Amino acid sequence: MAVSRRKLRTALSFLLRPLLAALLFTFTLRFLFSPPSNSFTKALVIASTSDLPPSSTSWLKNVPRAWTVYSYITDAPTSPALSVPVNKGNEAMVYLTYITTHYDSLPDVIFFHHAHSKGWHQELDSLTEVKRLRAEYVSKVGYASARCLSACENIIPLAEFSVDPKELHLVGRDVQIATLLDEFLDRSIGERVPKKIAAPCCAQFAASRDAIRRRPKEWWVRLRQWLIDTPLDSQTAGRLVEWTWHIWLGQPAEYCPDYKECKCHVFGMGECKEVWKKEGSM
């Protein structure tokens, strides 16, 4: 009888050993390579207008307490601290105003987001995106789009020349973007206007404090002033900034993350063991 029990214990030990090893491996990937998201300070910056019905923004009441929410209503600010200098440039004016105002006291991670509960360009609803955002990944890479795609989006070939910024309303998109990049890229660190750009649409993304601070506060102030002063109409000016956020925040000109990897990295969704293993070596 004692022999049978020993054999049973030996068999169980043999069977359970791989399972325990796998659990330990998963634990290591999740918690040692990446600290828990709740260990990061986080801000949610919301761009909105007064014409959005209350039902569209009610989700903000359920944002976890770990997030500090800054809700800007561009045409009807609720306080001077949440106002913009001019209602121009879509969400870009809100994002740039937050950055320039809070540059010296930024949290670890900032999620820049629209106010609607779910847009056509979102696979997840807005509250789920906020709850699932992996701040540890954003902190490592500096920038992450909230839109995961199976292919590149907004592939835009650029002109090989720029024009006087006062003439931007007279030229096409390729020249407009090239001119904006030429004016704000830092040649002293090797930045150059690329031949083309690509990135997911719609200006909903997370950025780290370090990525924002790679450019001085004065640089961000100057970009916001460009948005105010440009002769371009509000929508066009906002689109130019939308198409270039990833570049300003340190990503390649052609920013096209793999769909499955994006879902794992940004929201922790899918079969993520191998993805997180690679993430741990970043």
List 72's β-bridge partners, or say none: 47
Report the C-alpha gap between 111 and 114 in whole angstroms. Answer: 10
- Mean pLDDT value of segment 168-178: 98
> How is residue 185 written in tokens?
């890229």
Q: What is the mean pLDDT of the chain?
A: 90
CA torsion, points 226, 82, 148, 234, in degrees to nearest 10?
A: -40
DSSP H helical segments within 115-242, as ranges?
126-132, 135-141, 173-184, 209-213, 217-229, 234-242
DSSP H/E element including 145:
strand 143-145
Tell me: the pLDDT tens digits for 192-217?
999 999 999 999 999 999 999 999 99
Tell me: the pLDDT tens digits for 63-82?
999 999 999 999 999 999 99
List 196's β-bridge partners, or say none: 157
- Inter-residue contact 75 to 133 (CB < 8 Å): no
* pTM: predicted TM-score of the whole model, two decimal places: 0.85
